[in-house]
Amino acid sequence: MTFGFAPSSATSISASSGSADSVNRLARMLEPAEWASAGIPLLRSPREVVSGLHSRHRPTPATAVVAVLDHEERLTASASFVRRATVAADGWEFRNALLAHLRRVVPHDLRRRTPVRTAVLLYCRDGDERWTEEDGAWMWGLRDACTLHGLRCGAYITLTGGGWQVLGEGRGGRRPSSLSEPAPLADTVAEQQPALTRTGGGAAAALRRTAAR
């Protein structure tokens, strides 16, 4: 005679919930081919943008730097934050984090018919330049955050020990890297910002706080 135990309903529900959550996370990421076909505008001077953000924020692995550029590719605002280790690579979580920081440093453009500013994301991480599921989640999060803030979705850039890479474009370089010393900020294009007074009092104050980071 044999005895067995049927799985409890709680166990079944837990397993189903975990499986559904995994499926949802996979749906909230973009692969390089999807990203490349999404019409993401190319940066005219990606090295200068990367160098400027690297000098300003000095990112270390697990640091995300989100920046807003005007139509002349000048930095309007930027913010950096460290990804919490306890947060899974989920585009929804990344979208919320990016949107929260965008709201702190720059007013939305939702009243405009078409976006005039572009948001780019630089993510410093371990590993090499090859695409990962974490990158796919950041791509999804950046695209969604831009839609909700009235911005054009721009480049997603990884910064690793081997250098920087604009994913979906195949452009990259060895410097700066996550291991290199930042160049003096005055030498970078990121320092060429429009006058803060153009954005209004509250936004100007937010930009001053961001520039001090």
Instruction: Summarize pLDDT for 108-144 with one digit per residue, the tens.
Output: 999 988 999 999 999 999 999 899 999 999 999 999 9
Q: Would the pTM of this model clear 0.75, i.e. be above it?
A: yes
- The per-residue pLDDT for 104 is 96
Lowest mean pLDDT among 59-68, 123-132, 179-188, 196-205: 196-205
The per-residue DSSP string of the chain comes to -----PPPHHHHHHHHHHHHHHHHHHHT---HHHHHTTTPPPPSSHHHHHHHHHHHH---TTEEEEEEE-TTS-EEEEEEEEPPTTS-S-HHHHHHHHHHHHHHHS---TTSSS--SEEEEEEE-SS-SS--HHHHHHHHHHHHHHHHHT-EEEEEEEEETTEEEETTTTEEESSS-TTSPPPPGGGSGGG-PPPGGGG-HHHHHHHHHHHT-
Q: What percent of the chain has pLDDT over 90?
A: 62
- The per-residue pLDDT for 162 is 95
Say yes or no to pLDDT of 47 above 50.
Answer: yes
Say yes or no to pLDDT of 206 above 90.
Answer: no
- The per-residue pLDDT for 166 is 95
Instruction: Summarize pLDDT for 3-15 with one digit per residue, the tens.
Output: 444 555 554 554 4
Q: State the pairing for strand pair 152-160/118-124.
A: parallel
Q: Which of 75, 188, 28, 74 is nearest to 65 (CA)?
A: 75
